[in-house]
Amino acid sequence: IRPEDLSVDASADASGGDAAGDHAFDATVTVVEPMGDENVVHLSLADGPELVATVNGLRRIESGTDVIVSIPENAIHVFDGDSGDALHNRSLDDAELDDARV
């Protein structure tokens, strides 16, 4: 999962995965790193794992805030633990392919 693919919503505003196929989790913001045009947001899930998301730099978000993190299914990458081979990669649309070629 890439940080730019995560959606971070205030828990009061989120419905828990508003788009079909999204997976949503409760999380707590642990660290916010302002980087100018984006903020790097470190998140702690209830069962222990941590995630890192990037959000718009103009967005105000504070450490200690409870949020809902949504992950679009098409953004999930799955790899074989032994071989490292990709088992599932997201499909790039034409616009993403054009951007990658620049």
The percent helix, strand, coil of the chain (3-state, each to 5) is 15, 45, 45
Q: What mean pLDDT is reported for the chain?
A: 80
Q: Which of 9, 100, 1 lies closest to 56 in space, CA to CA?
A: 9
Q: Would you give the distance in Å from CA 99 to the centre of its chain?
A: 20
| Whole-prediction pTM | 0.69
CATH of the domain at 41: 2.40.50.140
Instruction: Answer whether residue 95 is part of any domain.
Output: no
> Would you place residue 80 in the very low, low, confident or very high pLDDT band (cuts 50, 70, 90)?
confident
Q: Provide the number of structural domains found in the chain.
A: 1
pLDDT of 50: 92
pLDDT of 97: 47
Instruction: Answer whether residue 85 is part of any domain.
Output: no
Residue 27's domain comprises 3-73
pLDDT of 46: 81
> Edge-to-edge strand order for the sheet containing 66-72?
7-10, 66-72, 22-34, 38-45, 50-56
pLDDT tens string 25-37: 899 999 999 999 9
Tokens of 47: 């069962």
Least confident of 11-20, 61-70, 79-88: 11-20
Instruction: Answer whether residue 58 is part of any domain.
Output: yes
pLDDT of 39: 96
